[in-house]
Every structure is written in structure tokens, then in C-alpha cells.
Structure 1
């Protein structure tokens, strides 16, 4: 089931959809930290809406794994354990590597243009030290690369895995922005060159490098 289908099933109004989109964007950009409470009244006030569409949006985001909802505690940004993070990162690294190999095999001028466009925007955001834009562009880079692989099933699985760890990787992307975008550029070069083995290696290493720091930040061993 795709994210758009889940969202359509979970919201009942265009207003609810707009609140979902706004909260998802805030989570992807790192505006909310893992474990942070999301208070309905405060969110409704900030967005100028009633609590009803906020409550709908929180249910949708919980179904996507971005937040947890517990009785009496309410909604909080999902906080992974070090073991859960390790397990997710191991799978994601393998799949991202496979996808990069496929992207190198199936690359086209359109693929090259799309990837280079995101890199250029990332470079400008780096120069401005615009952390929020960099997080948004990081998600876009991985979406473009996923589409470049040409395997819709693989792309959807990877998006689900990225969603599970988005708040952690958003925070880490700010701390290692230079390394992240240097790794992105190297992956793009390998894809455009059609070097399948190198593209796979670099994409796998990219996730492993960031993942090790995520796990260390959570407080677990990077094994």
C-alpha cells in the first residue's frame, strides 16, 4: 500500500490532508526530535485549525511509523531503540546499494539531469548553511535515486524504511552535511558513469556511515 493510499484512507478532508503534509514535512526536516511530544492543542494553534484535523493527521502519521500514540501520553515522535535502528539500517543499506546498481545499469540523460539538479540545489543550500532545506533535499535526492533504479517495488520498500528513520537521519544530516553531500556526489558520478559495482558500494557505504552515527547517538554499539 502506498503512502498516498494510506493518507487518503486516514483523512476525511482536504484540510486534514494539508495538516498531514505540513506535519510530515516538519518531521522530515528535523523540526521535531525523536521522543518529542506533539500536543494537539499547540499544533492546532500553530496551524490555525481545530483539533479535529490535527487528530486525523496524527493517526495517519502513526500508521506511517513516524509517530507513536499512547493512552494518556498522547503523540510523540517515534524513537527507535539502537537494536531497531541497526536492523532497519542494515536492510536499508542493502536495498539502497541494490537500487544504486540498478540506477547505474538503467541510467539515462533524464536521470543524470534530475540527480545533478538535486546536487546543485544541495550545493547552494550548503553555501547558505540552510539545514532545513538540506534535509528536504536529502529526502528528494533519495527519492530521485530510488526512481532512477526503475524498480517500483524496491523504491516503495526503501521509502518505507526511510520513513521509519527520518527523524534520526534528519538530525544526523545536519551534523554531517558536508560528508553527506560529498557521498551523494560520488554516488551520482558512479551512476552516470554506469559503474554498477561502484554505485552499489558507495550507496551501501553512505547508509552505513550515517547509520553508525545514528546508532551511536541513540546510545548503542554500531555492530
Structure 2
């Protein structure tokens, strides 16, 4: 226990790195998912087919394999581009490699989450809004997006929970996140069990906080529907 207390400052830094990695990855995954969903529901076969290929392939590749492909493949690609431009060697940091890999993976899942939520919106409400004169941005802002958020929230929360756990994989490529620091500290102190139990406690705490926040958001977006009834 004394060794664990001694490493608390380092572990807290690791927690910050893990949380930052998860949040930034979620931001980009949300962007990929929104663009992917727009492609899937579009009437253009090329766009819909390309997104379907993306979601099918990505969801079939293990997270670790995707991470290694992005880290080592991205490193090589960047250096090849730098060489063509007459620049020196370029280094891809483990953090941003993790962001790209995780966002790319979970963007595929969010694509289907957003697509399903959009298709759940009653078409009659859209037609009624159009009959009232709403078009374009006003239609989406006042009718489509609020309902899409409500229908997508449960799936979005599940993706976030899985995404948070997947950040642990990034320590494999040398990121000094919570898992990476705990692993090194456990080896140094020869007490790996204590440090991994601390990691477990932190991830459970993040899960509890996330569940509480998403449940509050779901109640907030469900309230207008309850009043309408």
C-alpha cells in the first residue's frame, strides 16, 4: 500500500491522459459517425456503399490490430510523405495514434447508432413540420435533431462505455496512460496486483459517473415526450 501511495501523483497524471484520450476520441468518433450516418441514409448508392464497407470492415477488425496498423502504418506513411516533401523524419505520438484508431473504430459503431436513431423518427412528424413551413436547417434543428439525440442516447452511452475500456489497449504502443503507468509501477514495486486493482477502481468510477450523467440526459430528453402524452 505504501508503494501505491508513493505513485499516486503519477497515477493521477495517467488518469488525466486516459480521460483526455477517451474524450477526444469520442469527439472524432461522433464526427465520423455523423458523417457516416449521413452517407448511409443518402440516396446516393456510392456514398451508402462506401460507408457500409467502412462499418463492415472496421467492426470486424480487433481493436489492438487496428491500433497497431494506425501506429506503425501511420508512422511509415507520414515519413514517406515527409521524404517526398524534403522534410526530416516525422514521429507519430502514441496518444494521437490512439485517438485516430479509437475514433475510426467507434465511428463505425456510431454510424449505425445514428442511422438507427434517424430511422426511428416518425415520418409523420417531419411531414407535419414541413406542412407548417419548416424547411432545411430549421426543420432539422427543431424537429429532427432533438428526436435523433433522444433515440441515439442509449446506444451512444453504450459506445462510450466500451470506448473508455478500449483506451487501455493504447498502453501497448507506449502511451503513459493509467494502465501504462500502473504496469510500470507494478513491475518496479513488485506489487502488480495492487496497482491493477487501483486501475480497476478508477475505471469503475468512470463507468459510474458516465452512467449517472447519461441517465440524467436520457430523462431530460424524454421529458418533452412525457409532457406531450
Whether these two folds match at TM > 0.5 is: no
**Normalized against structure 2, the TM-score is what?**
0.31
Higher helix share: 2
Which is richer in strand?
A: 1
